[in-house]
């Protein structure tokens, strides 16, 4: 959201409880101690990790999707340090332009394996438009899934509900995330995460 001036956006304050990571292991959000979710694009990961630490008091300016207790950050400031502003993804020269997903130097090498997880949801996690995209479990594991798969769980994807998943587990010094290939309310009731169906042209 590099086209938005953060000075004109509402400010949210709080202390950082933990970082949130996506299925690639990149930081793409914060969970504040009051439970509010802060989302930021993964191209901000390196700058955020270089400046923000767990426990820091932060000021976040951003947009608030309707009906969701979250902020999509345009700028983040920790203490009196310089603000980190979303200036858009870096440009990459050559035929393969776009964001460079090489390993963030602030994240230790990560490992991945196939795994099953099951637990109680403490927080539902969202994408940049406020759509449900996963959950944080009581044991600290993050389960990520496409928005259409999250919708298939209906009211079962909510705090206090049980969630089970089978998929690719990735761990680094920010935590553990499972990219779900199967989901359900228990390991005995899993169903595959199907590819999103695109509308057929009339």
Task: Report the C-alpha gap between 149 and 187 in whole angstroms.
Answer: 16
- Strand residues in the chain grouped as ranges (E): 11-21, 27-32, 37-39, 57-63, 70-78, 84-85, 111-126, 132-137, 142-144, 162-172, 175-184, 191-192
117: left (phi over 0), alpha (psi -120 to 50) or beta: beta
**CATH numbers and ranges of domains, the chain:** 6-85 (2.40.50.140), 111-192 (2.40.50.140)
pLDDT by residue for the chain (202 residues), tens only, comes to 678 899 999 999 999 999 999 999 999 999 999 999 999 999 999 999 999 999 999 999 999 999 999 999 999 999 999 999 999 888 765 544 444 444 565 565 566 789 999 999 999 999 999 999 999 999 999 999 999 999 999 999 999 999 999 999 999 999 999 999 999 999 999 999 988 776 554 4
User: Would the pTM of this model clear 0.75, i.e. be above it?
Assistant: yes
């Amino acid at each position: 959201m590099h086209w938005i001036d953060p000075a004109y956006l509402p400010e949210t304050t709080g202390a950082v409880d933990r970082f949130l990571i996506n299925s690639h292991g990149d930081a793409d959000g914060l969970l504040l101690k009051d439970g509010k979710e802060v989302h930021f694009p993964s191209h901000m990961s390196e700058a955020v990790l270089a400046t923000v630490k767990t426990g820091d008091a932060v000021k976040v300016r951003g947009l608030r999707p309707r009906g969701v207790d979250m902020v999509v950050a345009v700028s983040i400031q920790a203490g009196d340090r310089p603000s980190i502003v979303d200036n858009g993804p870096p440009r990459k020269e050559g035929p393969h332009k776009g964001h460079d997903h090489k390993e963030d130097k602030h994240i230790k090498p990560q490992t991945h394996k196939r795994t099953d997880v099951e637990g109680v949801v403490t927080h539902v996690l969202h994408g940049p438009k406020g759509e449900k995209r996963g959950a944080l479990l009581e044991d600290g594991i993050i389960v990520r899934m496409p928005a259409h798969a999250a919708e298939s769980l209906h009211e079962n994807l909510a705090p206090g509900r049980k969630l089970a998943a089978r998929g690719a587990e990735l761990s680094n010094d920010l935590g553990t995330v499972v990219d779900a290939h199967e989901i359900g309310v228990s390991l005995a009731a899993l169903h595959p995460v199907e590819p999103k169906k695109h509308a057929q042209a009339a």
